[in-house]
Structure 1
Amino acid sequence: MESLYYYPRGRRALIFSRDERKAGGKKDKYEFTTVIRRPMDVASNTSRKTLFISRASQMDREKAKEVYRWFNEQLVFSYRGKTTVAIDRFLGDNKDAVLRVLKAADSDIVEFTYKDGELTTFHRRNPALPFDFNTEESEGTKILFKIMLTVMDVVSNNKVMFLDDVETSLHTRLVEYLISLFHSSKSAQLVFTTHNTHLLDMTRFRKDQIFFVNKRDYGSSDLYSLFDYKDFREKMDLEKAYLQGRFDAVPYINEFEGI
C-alpha cells in the first residue's frame, strides 16, 4: 500500500492512494485527485516493486518532486552526510561551538583560522605554531570537523537526523554536547539508537522521547515508550532502573551457558 495526503487550508486531503492487493488493473488499484497531472500515465509506468511517488518524480510531476526533494534534503542518515553549509561561513558563525566540541573530544586545538580555502589550526603546546589542517592534522580530527559540519547544518536548517549507535567513534561528552545542540535548536530533530546507558537521564530527555527495544525469543522485537510506565517518576534514577531490568530490554546472559 502507498498513499500521500496534504493539508490545504489545514484540512487533510488525498493526493493519491494505491493498494496492490486489490484485484483488477491499475484503475482498480489507484485513487487520485487532481493534484498530480496525468496520474494514470505515471501509474501505467510504475511496476509493483516501484513507489508511485518516486516514478512520478522521475516523470517530472511537480508535487512528487517536492516530496522527493524534502526527503532528499531534510533527512540526514550519517554524521558525514551531504551538507549545504559553506565551510567558511560555518567556521565563522560557529567558531566557539567548534572549539568547545574539540575540547570535549580531548583535542589540544585551541584556535583555528580559515582563509582562501585553507584551514589552519593552532595547538595548546605551541599556540603560535600554525598547522595545515589537510596535511598535518590527524584523520580523527578531520573526521570530527566533518561531523560538526554535518551536525551544524542539520541544526541550523532544522533538518531531521537519524543515527544508529550515536556514540560510535565519539566520546560520551561529545555525544552529550551534540544532543544539547538539538535541544537548543528551533525545530531540528535527532532520532538515534544507543547502547550507552549513561544517556538514560531524565534531565536530558522527556519520558515520551525515550523508547526501549526488547528482543523476543524468536527474533522479533517490541518497541515501547518510557511514557507507558505511569509509575515511573522523573526524579527516579532511570539508568539504574533500566539496568535492574525494570523495563525489560536488557540482555540476560547466562554465565554458565556453553560451559
Structure 2
Amino acid sequence: MLLEFRFCNFRSFRDEAVFSMAASPDTTLEASHTRATGLDKVKRILNGAAIYGANASGKSNVIRALHFMQLMVTTSNQIQPDQESTLSPFRMRPDFADHPTKLEATFLINRVRYQYGFEITRRRVLSEWLLVYEKTKPQVWFSRTYNPKKEKYDYTYSDYFVGQKKVWETATRKEVLFLTTAVQLNNEQLRPLYQRIADDLVVFTDGPSIGFGFSARYMQSAANRDRVQSLIAAADTGISSISLETRAGKHFQVNFMSGNPEVQDTEVDVPQFGHVAEGEIYKFDFAEESAGTQILFELAGPILDILQKGRTLVVDELDRSLHPLLVLKIVQMFNDPELNQNGAQLIFSTHDVSLLDGGKLRRDQVWFTEKDNDQVSHLFPLLDFSPRKGEALEKGYLSGRYGGIPILG
C-alpha cells in the first residue's frame, strides 16, 4: 500500500509537495475507509483519497509525478548512454535545467515500511536511497550519491543489504537507477519493492478511458465475466449480458531501440453488449454504447482485478463521462470491507463535489491543488483548514473557503 509520496521540481510544482495516505486519529468511517497497518507510528492507512482543484492547478501533475517515478524504476535501463530522459522539471525560472527533481515514495509491504527515492536531472541520477523500517529506526539498505569532484558515485550499504553489490554498482550507468539494475540482475531482496512500484501501482494519467483490452482479457474466465456483468448491470446501463467476439486486428508498439513503430496482425476480443427488448436480445458493439458505458466497461476489469490483488489504482479525472452516482459506486467498492479484503487503494483527481458531503469521504481523504501568482502549484489537505465534523464541505469548497477553485473574471 502507498503510504506517502513527495516530490519537487516537477512540471508546475517548484517546491516540495507531500501527499499522505496515513489516516488521522479521527474515528469517523474508520472501519470502512481505513485499515490497520500494524505499525506504532502510523496506526491506520486510508483506502482512498480525492484531489480537487481548478483546471491547470496541478491535479494531473501530482499523478504524472507518481507515474514518472514508476517509469524510471521500470524502464530507466532502456535509456541509452548519454540520452536525456523525458523528465519535465519546473520551467518558470531561467536556470531551470540546473535544478534536480526529487521523487520519493513510502510503501507498506508486509507491515514493513520501505522509503525509496532519488534525485535526477535529465542526464544523470544524482542520488538514490532506500530506508527500510523493520523496527523503529530505519535501516539504510543502500545510498548512492554522485561526487562531482571524483566524477563517480559514492555508495554506502547497511549490513542488512546483502548480495553482489560491486557487480550491481559496476552495471549501473549514470542514467539508470540502482534499484532497476539490481533487480534486473536477480536481486531478490529488492524485488518486493520493485514489484510494488512496477506491478501493484496502476496509474492512468490520461483519465479512465484506457481501452477495452484489459477488461476483455479479464473476462476470459467465467467467474470474472460474471463479476464484470454484475458491475455493469448494477450501474443501470440497460445491459443484460456481455460476450466477446474474436476479430482480426492490429497490434501497435514502438521499438525502444530504433524508436520506430511496429504493427503486427493479431486477433482482438471485442465486447458485445446484450440489450433486452420485448423478450428479444439485441447485441451492440462496444463503439455503439454511450461514452459512460464504454468507460465503465474499460474500468471494470482493472478495478475488480485491483480489488482482488490489493493494488493501488491512481486515476486522473475519474469522473470524466461518468455520472456522479457511478463515481460514488466505484469509491464505495474500495471502502467495502467485503469487496476490498486485500488492502487495495483508490487515488483520483475529480471535479465531482457531490462526494464531499453525506459521509462519502473522510475529511483526511480530501486534498486540493492551487496555483499562486508565480504559476507555482501547491498541494495541501483539507485538514489544514480544521473543518468541523458535519461541516458542509461542498458549500465551503465552492465558496472558496479551502482554495482550489478557479477565479473567474
Q: TM-score range by the shorter chain?
A: 0.7 to 0.9
Matched, 1:235 2:390: yes
Higher helix share: 1
1:213-252 alignment, distance < 5 Å: 213-230=369-386, 232-252=387-407
Matched, 1:31 2:31: no
Give the greater-gyration-radius structure (CA): 1
Distance 1:26 1:85, change over 3 A: farther
Higher strand share: 2
Query: Is the 1:6–1:13 Cα contact (8 Å) retained in structure 2?
Result: yes
Residue in structure 2 matched with residue 203 of structure 1 by the alignment: 359
- Number of equivalences: 247
Distance 1:251 1:97, change over 3 A: same
Letter in 2 for 1:31: T
Can you give the 5+ residue segments of structure 1 that lack an aligned partner in the other structure?
A: 255-259
- Normalised TM-score (structure 2): 0.53
Of 108-117 and 155-164, the range deviating more from structure 2 = 108-117
Letter in 2 for 1:237: A
Distance of 2:131 and 2:184 partners within structure 1: 19
Residue in structure 2 matched with residue 96 of structure 1 by the alignment: 230
Distance 1:195 1:53, change over 3 A: same
Cα drift, residue 240 of structure 1: 0.7
Cα drift, residue 202 of structure 1: 5.2
Residue in structure 1 matched with residue 192 of structure 2 by the alignment: 66
Matched, 1:181 2:307: no
2:322 aligned residue (162, 170, 176)? 170
1:142-161 alignment, distance < 5 Å: 142-161=294-313
Letter in 2 for 1:197: V
Cα drift, residue 40 of structure 1: 2.2
Sequence identity, in percent? 24
Cα drift, residue 70 of structure 1: 2.2
Residue in structure 1 matched with residue 289 of structure 2 by the alignment: 138
Task: With a CA cutoff of 8 Å and minimum separation of 6, indicate the structure with the bigger relative contact order.
Answer: 2
Letter in 2 for 1:225: P
Query: Is the 1:26–1:44 Cα contact (8 Å) retained in structure 2?
Result: no
Query: Is the 1:3–1:16 Cα contact (8 Å) retained in structure 2?
Result: yes
Distance 1:98 1:139, change over 3 A: closer
- Normalised TM-score (structure 1): 0.80
Distance of 1:85 and 1:208 partners within structure 2: 33
Distance of 2:275 and 2:312 partners within structure 1: 34
Cα drift, residue 86 of structure 1: 5.0
SS of the equivalent of 1:63 reads coil
Query: Is the 1:165–1:195 Cα contact (8 Å) retained in structure 2?
Result: yes
Query: Is the 1:87–1:149 Cα contact (8 Å) retained in structure 2?
Result: no
User: For each residue in 1:52-96, what CA deviation from the matched residue of structure 2 results, as whole angstroms up to 9, or x when unmatched?
Assistant: 101212222222333222222211112448678454321224543
Cα drift, residue 190 of structure 1: 0.7
Distance of 1:17 and 1:175 partners within structure 2: 42
Can you give the 5+ residue segments of structure 2 that lack an aligned partner in the other structure?
A: 1-126, 247-268
Query: Is the 2:172–2:181 Cα contact (8 Å) retained in structure 1?
Result: yes
Residue in structure 1 matched with residue 257 of structure 2 by the alignment: none
Residue in structure 1 matched with residue 281 of structure 2 by the alignment: 129
Cα drift, residue 251 of structure 1: 1.7
Letter in 1 for 2:329: Y
Distance of 1:86 and 1:112 partners within structure 2: 9
Cα drift, residue 22 of structure 1: 6.9
